[in-house]
Amino acid sequence: MTIAVGDTLPDVKLVKATPEGPEAVQSSDYFAGKKVALFSVPGAYTPTCSARHLPGFVEKSDELKAKGIDEIACTAVNDAFVLGAWKDANNADGITMLGDGNGDFAQAIGLTMDGSGFGLGQRGQRFSMVVNNGVVEQLNVEAPGDFSVSSAEHMLGQL
């Protein structure tokens, strides 16, 4: 079942990329008590993710925070080491990277995709959501191959 606006995020383990190395975090703890702009990419270093999705949230981070967002986070079915390197390579200091290496989070919210035709295996779909104290307030899921409703620009229009 796909998560919907008004639902509480499931409690699963994610791995936060930090300068000191990977740090396991429970999603219930991470999202508690704050308003988070969360976006998901099918994979770090993939074309649309690197050229448009991540850069948009980096560029619009101040505007998102001015509209009440406490933290901006990105998740992907990648390990925290890859996400940390991708963050550094893109000067994305204001973005928290949450590795979902086994796809547990993507599966728990019902937003997986099969990228095996491209050698990617099971991945998370491209989406964005506003999560307030663990509850989904906005949810923007892209159609396969699209990039519009999960963008930082679209989210700004919703806030």
β-strand 71-76 against 122-124: which pairing, if any? unpaired
**Which listed residue (14, 38, 49, 73) is catalytic?**
49
Catalytic: 74? no
- Taking alpha carbons only, the member of 1, 7, 42 closest to residue 142 is 42
Cβ 108 vs Cβ 75: under 8 Å:
no
Cβ 100 vs Cβ 75: under 8 Å:
yes
Q: Where are the beta strands (DSSP E) in the chain?
A: 13-18, 21-26, 35-40, 71-76, 95-99, 112-114, 122-124, 127-132, 135-141
What three-state secondary structure class fits 51? Answer: helix
β-strand 21-26 against 112-114: which pairing, if any? unpaired
Catalytic (active-site) positions = 49
